[in-house]
Amino acid sequence: MQKNLADYRKSYEKSALMEDAIPTNPMALFQTWFDELEASKGVEEPNAMTVSTIGLDGFPKSRVVLLKKFSAHGFVFYSNYESEKGMSIAKNPHSCISFFWPNLERQVIIKGQSEKLPAQESDDYFNSRPKGSRLGALVSDQSSVIPSRVYLENKLKKLEEEYKDKEIERPNHWGGYLVKPESIEFWQGRQNRLHDRIRYTLVENSNWKRERLAP
C-alpha cells in the first residue's frame, strides 16, 4: 500500500514572531499564546500536549497527555508512576513536551527535567477528579498487558461496589510530574516555509538566552 501526500500543502500567513515584540521570559510568551489559543476556540482540547521520553528499551516514545497546570516553575501533568512513561522518567528524567496548535499555525517545544510533584499536590488534584476518573486510576495497571476489555470492565465493576460508600484515596503509584524547562522553542508558521523559530535557553541566575533559529 502506498499513498503520495506530496500535494498536501498550506501557506502559513496568520502571524509573525519578532524579537522586538516578545518578552524576555518565555513563560510570559507561553501564557500569551495559550490565552490567544483559548480565545480562538479553534482547538477542542487546548491543553493537549505530546510528552516524549527515552524508554527502557532505548527508543524514544511520544504520547499525548493533558497539561494540568503551568507556572514559572514549569509544566504539570499526571500519570501512573509504574506506567511505561513513569518507568522511563524514573530512569532518565530528560523529557520533551510539545504543543501543536494548527489553527494559529504555532508549535511550542519544551525540553527539561521531569520530577514527581509533592504528595500533597498530587492528593489535591486526585481528589478534584470525578469519581469515575479516580476509580480508573485504581483499575488500570497502565501499560501492562491485559487479556481483554471485559477484564478491565469487570475490574471496574468490583471497585465501584467496593467504594460505593467510602472515599477513594490516591494510590501511591499515581501522581503528578513537573517538567522544569531548560529550553523552550516557539515556532510560528510563515510564508514560503521561512518560519519564525525563537528558542529560549535557561542560563545562570534564572535568566534566559534568546536566539533565532533557521527554519
Instruction: Indicate which CATH number applies to the domain containing 198.
Output: 2.30.110.10
Q: 8 lies in a domain? A: no
Distance of alpha carbon 141 from alpha carbon 83, whole angstroms: 7
Provide the grid cell at 36: 490567544
The strand pairing partners of 197, in sequence order, are 187, 213
The strand pairing partners of 25, in sequence order, are none
The strand pairing partners of 97, in sequence order, are 51, 110
Q: What pLDDT shows up at residue 113? A: 98
Provide the grid cell at 52: 516524549
Q: 37 lies in a domain? A: yes
Q: 66 lies in a domain? A: yes
pLDDT at 204 over 90: no
Q: 146 lies in a domain? A: no
Place of cell 488534584: 125
- Three-state secondary structure call for residue 111: strand
For the chain, the domain total comes to 1
pLDDT higher at 43 or 81? 81
pLDDT by residue (tens digit) across 128-164? 999 999 999 999 989 999 999 999 999 999 999 999 9
| φ, ψ for residue 38, nearest 5 deg | -60, -40
pLDDT at 206 over 90: no
Q: What pLDDT shows up at residue 202? A: 97
pLDDT at 10 over 90: no
Q: Which of 25, 58, 48 is nearest to 97 (CA)?
A: 48
pLDDT by residue (tens digit) across 91-137? 999 999 999 999 999 999 999 999 999 999 999 999 999 999 999 99
- Please return the burial class of 136, using the count of CB atoms within 10 Å of its CB with bins 0-12, 13-18 and 19+: middle
Catalytic residue (one of 63, 170, 193, 197): 193
Provide the grid cell at 192: 514560503
The pTM of this model reads 0.93
Q: What pLDDT shows up at residue 19? A: 96
Q: 160 lies in a domain? A: no
Catalytic, 63? Answer no
- Three-state secondary structure call for residue 139: helix
**AA identity, residue 177:** Y
Distance of alpha carbon 96 from alpha carbon 51, whole angstroms: 6
Q: Which of 7, 16, 25 is nearest to 210 (CA)?
A: 25
pLDDT by residue (tens digit) across 181-199? 999 999 999 999 999 999 9
Q: 154 lies in a domain? A: no
Percent of the chain with pLDDT over 70: 100
Is residue 48 within 8 A of residue 25, CB to CB? The reply is: no
Q: What pLDDT shows up at residue 150? A: 96
Q: 2 lies in a domain? A: no
**AA identity, residue 200:** Y
Distance of alpha carbon 108 from alpha carbon 89, whole angstroms: 21
Place of cell 501511591: 172
**Domain residue limits at 81:** 19-128+168-213
Distance of alpha carbon 46 from alpha carbon 33, whole angstroms: 11
Q: 134 lies in a domain? A: no
The total number of residues shown for the chain amounts to 215
